[in-house]
C-alpha cells in the first residue's frame, strides 16, 4: 500500500493549493482547490435533478471529486478572459493534467478504468452529465466571487496588472458566461450575476 499512501499524501496537498485566479486578484485568504471541489460536489448533489433526466447524480458527484485531482501535481492554471494572459494553452493544460491524474490513480484498483473515465468524460463534455458538472464548476466560481464581493475580501483601489481589463471580480463572470451549456446553469448564473451586480452597486453608493 506504500504507493497508494504516496498518492494520497500528494492528493491531500489540494487542501492547501490556493486557487490561482483568486490569488492573482489579491483575495484575502483565498479558497483551496479542495474547497472548490467540495463546492462543485455539493452543487451536483443539490441540482442534478434539475439538470435533466439524463444527468446521473452519483456519477456527477464522483466526476466533480476527480475533476481537479491532477492539480495536486500540476498546480492550478487559471482560465483568463483574455487569451494573451493565459499561462499555458488549453491543450497543454489538459495534457499535463491527464498525465498527472493517470499517474496518481495508477496505484489504486481501477481495473475497469472508471476513475480515469470520469475525468475523461468531464474533459470531453460530450454527455449530459459532463456538461452539467462543468456548469457546476463555473457556477461554484461565480458563487465564490459573489461571496468574496460581499465580504470585501480584496482592495479594489489597489493597482493589479493581472486584472487590468476588468473591474472588481467581473472577469470571473466574463469567463463563465460563454461556456455555460445547461438550463439550470444559465438560471443559476443569471441569479448570481444579478446579486453580484447589486453588491457592486451597493459598494459604489457607500
Q: How far is CA 93 from the centre of its chain?
A: 14
Question: Tell me, what's the pLDDT at 83?
Answer: 60
Nine cell digits for residue 65: 471529486
Domain that includes residue 157, residue range: 2-205
- What is the CATH classification number for the domain harbouring 127? 1.10.3210.10
Give percent of the chain with pLDDT exceeding 90. 78
Question: Tell me, what's the pLDDT at 85?
Answer: 62
pLDDT at 205 over 70: no
Sign of CA dihedral 79, 83, 87, 90: positive
Nine cell digits for residue 113: 478504468
Give the side-chain half-sphere CA count within 13 A for 55: 26
Say how far apart CA 146 and CA 15 lie, in whole Å.
Answer: 22
Phi, psi values for residue 32, rounded to 5° = -90, 170
**H-helix segments, 53-182:** 57-66, 71-74, 90-105, 114-124, 128-150, 170-176
How many domains are contained in the chain? 1
Q: What is the pLDDT of residues 62-90, one digit of tens each?
A: 999 999 999 999 999 887 766 666 667 77
Q: Which of 132, 80, 204, 133 is nearest to 196 (CA)?
A: 204
Query: Which residues is 32 bridged to in the sheet?
Result: 18
Q: Which of 164, 119, 154 is nearest to 26 (CA)?
A: 154
pLDDT at 176 over 90: yes
**pLDDT band with cut points at 50, 70 and 90 for residue 206:** low
Using the 8-state DSSP alphabet, how is residue 37 labeled? H
Q: Which of 74, 90, 77, 80 is nearest to 161 (CA)?
A: 80
Within 8 A by CB and 6+ apart from 95, the residues are none
Amino acid at each position: 500500500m506504500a504507493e497508494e499512501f504516496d498518492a494520497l499524501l500528494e492528493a491531500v496537498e489540494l487542501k492547501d493549493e490556493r486557487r490561482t485566479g483568486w490569488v492573482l486578484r489579491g483575495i484575502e485568504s483565498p479558497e483551496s482547490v479542495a474547497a472548490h471541489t467540495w463546492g462543485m460536489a455539493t452543487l451536483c448533489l443539490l441540482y442534478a435533478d434539475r439538470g435533466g433526466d439524463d444527468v446521473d447524480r452519483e456519477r456527477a458527484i464522483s466526476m466533480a471529486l476527480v475533476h481537479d485531482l491532477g492539480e495536486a501535481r500540476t498546480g492550478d492554471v487559471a482560465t483568463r478572459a483574455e487569451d494573451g494572459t493565459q499561462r499555458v494553452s488549453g491543450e497543454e493544460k489538459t495534457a499535463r493534467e491527464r498525465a498527472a491524474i493517470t499517474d496518481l490513480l495508477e496505484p489504486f484498483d481501477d481495473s475497469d478504468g472508471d476513475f480515469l473515465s470520469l475525468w475523461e468524460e468531464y474533459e470531453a463534455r460530450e454527455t449530459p452529465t459532463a456538461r452539467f458538472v462543468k456548469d457546476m464548476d463555473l457556477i461554484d466560481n461565480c458563487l465564490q466571487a459573489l461571496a468574496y464581493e460581499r465580504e470585501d475580501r480584496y482592495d479594489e483601489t489597489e493597482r493589479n496588472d493581472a486584472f487590468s481589463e476588468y473591474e472588481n471580480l467581473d472577469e470571473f463572470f466574463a469567463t463563465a458566461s460563454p461556456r455555460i451549456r445547461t438550463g439550470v446553469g444559465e438560471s443559476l448564473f443569471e441569479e448570481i450575476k444579478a446579486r453580484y451586480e447589486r453588491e457592486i452597486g451597493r459598494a459604489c453608493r457607500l
